[in-house]
Chains A and B, each alone.
Chain A
Amino acid sequence: MRSHRSLSRITTAALFVLPGLMLFALFIIGPMLYSFRMSFYDWKIIRPERSEWVELANYTRALGDPIFRRAVVNTLAYTAVTVPGQIVFGLGVAMLLDQRIRARSFFRVVYYLPVITSWVIVSLLFEYIFNGQAGLMNYLLRDVLHVIRENVRWLADPILAFVPIHLLGIWKGVGWTAVILLAGLQAIPEHLHEAAAVDGAGPLARFRYITLPLLRPTLVFLLVVLTIGGLNAYISFLLMTGGDPLDLTHSVLTLMYEATFTKLEFGYGSAISYFLTALVFAISILQIRLLRQKVEV
């Protein structure tokens, strides 16, 4: 009787769990293990059985490849610029919205528009704005502000190409960080600010000693999620430069895409993707550490 009941309990649970579990195993767990295996082979996509075991060659090749190293630097630079950019502007917007103002939901909707617009559309839009001949940005800088004399060919230059890419990363993300930070700000009890004001603390002191410390968990969370997002930058790089000129403007993922689907080096592409995953996991673990610390404070 008892074993019968526990059997039926397991059957019920299986009904609930199996559909999701099957998909998860087929399209996430299986692929992860499979690509781990591929990363140790010179993988032949047409005839996998002819693939050659090359030990760590794909990994060492990446480390020695100047294009890969450049892609890593580009990706880290993108993260280092866009993460603080999104947090600072997002905090600004959130603090402005965290007051008794009219039309708050109008502002929220507008600031959120770039977030819901697909990366494809906004990437093309920024490509057009930063067009080398007659783009809006060249017009503003040359004819309105007189900062430049000649048109700048933004996307043809291996350094200047990052101006539109980084600006887009910040512009698209501010709305999201602002919403998260606004929720964090609204969770801070009003009486703390009032008490501090009674004690003579000015706005700056209140920001420094009340707002920032109490916002810390939210800031840590944002830091981690945005960093992971930054390391995964892909569509804007792919559509705006595609790695040009001379493979100098790749992100790690556009390089992985090119190695795999253009040059058909599946093993090498897998090794690159594992480098990135390792980085993301290291940061996730760091997050858990930082969040634990917060509890003790």
Chain B
Amino acid sequence: MGINAQRRLGRLVTYALLLLGVGLVVAPFWYMVTTSFKPQSTIFEIPPQLWPQPATLNNYVAALDKDLFGLYFLNSLVVAITSTVLTVLASSLLAYAFARLEFPGREALFYIFLLGMMIPPVMLIIPQFIVAKSLQLLDSLLGLILVYVTMNLSMQTFLLRGFFESIPRDLEEAALIDGGSRWTIFWRIVLPLSRPGLAVVTIFTFLYSWDEFPWAHVAIKETTRRTLPIAIALFQSEHLTEWGQVFAASIVALVPVVIVFVVFQRYFIRGIATTGIKG
């Protein structure tokens, strides 16, 4: 076999394996999408239909109509957007202080924040529940938001500090000499120059807040305050066999995530690869 033929064969094997992998990844999603279009009567049909016949939109209509689904979607949106904005603000302020300002106890404080990355989040749920209870933050979206911001703080501060440190000091020093305060430098120079870093923080915090389940599951008992992940999980446990509706609701919850991901894919991959942040 000539070298060219060998190379072509190798390429063929590569594509075959990659497509096999795509099949394994996509098959469950395909099953989910088709199930969401099946009428209840064919949900447990053997063999399962790969292409729903007859297809119906009833599951979407029923799921969206039921249990205040629109409100849950709105709750998730409010929580995810507010958490993201506040996380970007709080962590960039912190990161700038750690990157450029001098104050007593800076090193010690930085290490304490790093510690935050090693603590298993679910372990904090019990005492956070008690704190939230005494501050009357249970059953409120604000309670979700404050905890989500805090849980993201360590990782995002660490990430942004790296970005801020790579900005040339000369720029900032020139502005200082011209009489600019740290505050204006931060807003006018540092933040605009760190857009890629801020994009990474934005995407990750949004996805985290949109998908978060354990804390919301504990903190929210009031029906009208549910976010999508707990609404979907509870919906399934209340309507055990109505998988069509469960997946219709899941797909509606999944669409914003996929859009954000596909649009910001470049930042996303770079962010993961350079920081090792867990998506």
Contact = CB atoms under 8 A, between A and B. Distances in A.
A8 to B, nearest CB: 10
B31 A129 contact: yes
B46 A17 contact: no
A183 B130 contact: no
B150 A23 contact: yes
A277 B123 CA distance: 7
Interface stretch (A56-64, A77-85, A107-115, A153-161): A107-115
B47 A276 contact: no
A31 B128 contact: yes
Given A24-B150, A101-B15, A134-B44, A30 B22 contact: no
B260 to A, nearest CB: 8
A207 interface: no
B150 A28 contact: yes
A113 B120 contact: no
B9 interface: no
Given A24-B113, A143-B47, A179 B273 contact: yes
Interface stretch (B51-59, B64-72, B167-175, B229-237): B229-237
A221 B275 CA distance: 11
Nearest to A144: B47
A96 B18 contact: yes
Given A19-B90, A101-B14, A225-B278, A12 B25 contact: no
A107 B265 CA distance: 12
B218 interface: yes
Given A27-B147, A31-B128, A276-B120, A113 B232 contact: no
Nearest to A229: B278
A234 B128 contact: no
Contact of B126 (A115, A125, A171, A260): A260
Contacts of A112: 261, 268-269, 279
B253 interface: yes
A20 B94 contact: yes
A136 B48 contact: yes
Given A118-B210, A235-B214, A109 B276 contact: no
A96 B17 contact: yes
Interface residues of A, number: 89
A12 B120 contact: no
Contacts of B269: 108, 112, 179
Interface in B154-184: 154, 157, 181-183
A231 B90 CA distance: 29
A13 B99 CA distance: 11
A34 B89 contact: no
Contact of A96 (B14, B127, B274): B14
Interface of B: 11, 14-15, 17-18, 21-22, 24-26, 28-29, 31-32, 35, 44-48, 89-91, 93-94, 96-97, 101-104, 109, 112-113, 116, 118-131, 146-147, 149-151, 153-154, 157, 181-183, 186, 207, 210-211, 213-214, 218, 229-230, 232-233, 236, 243, 246-247, 250, 253-254, 257-258, 261-262, 265, 268-269, 272-274, 276, 278-279
Interface of A: 9-10, 12-17, 19-21, 23-24, 26-32, 34-35, 38, 45, 92-93, 96-97, 99, 101, 105, 107-122, 124-126, 128-129, 131, 133-134, 136, 139, 143, 171, 175-176, 179-180, 182-183, 221, 225, 228-229, 231-232, 234-235, 239, 253, 256-257, 260-261, 266, 269-270, 273-274, 276-277, 280-281, 284
List the 5 closest pairs (A to B, CB-CB), nearest first. A31-B127, A183-B273, A118-B211, A13-B103, A16-B97
Given A21-B109, A112-B261, A119-B211, 20 more contacts: A14-B103, A16-B97, A16-B186, A23-B149, A24-B153, A31-B124, A113-B29, A115-B279, A116-B207, A118-B253, A118-B257, A121-B254, A128-B246, A176-B279, A234-B122, A239-B233, A257-B218, A260-B125, A261-B129, A277-B120
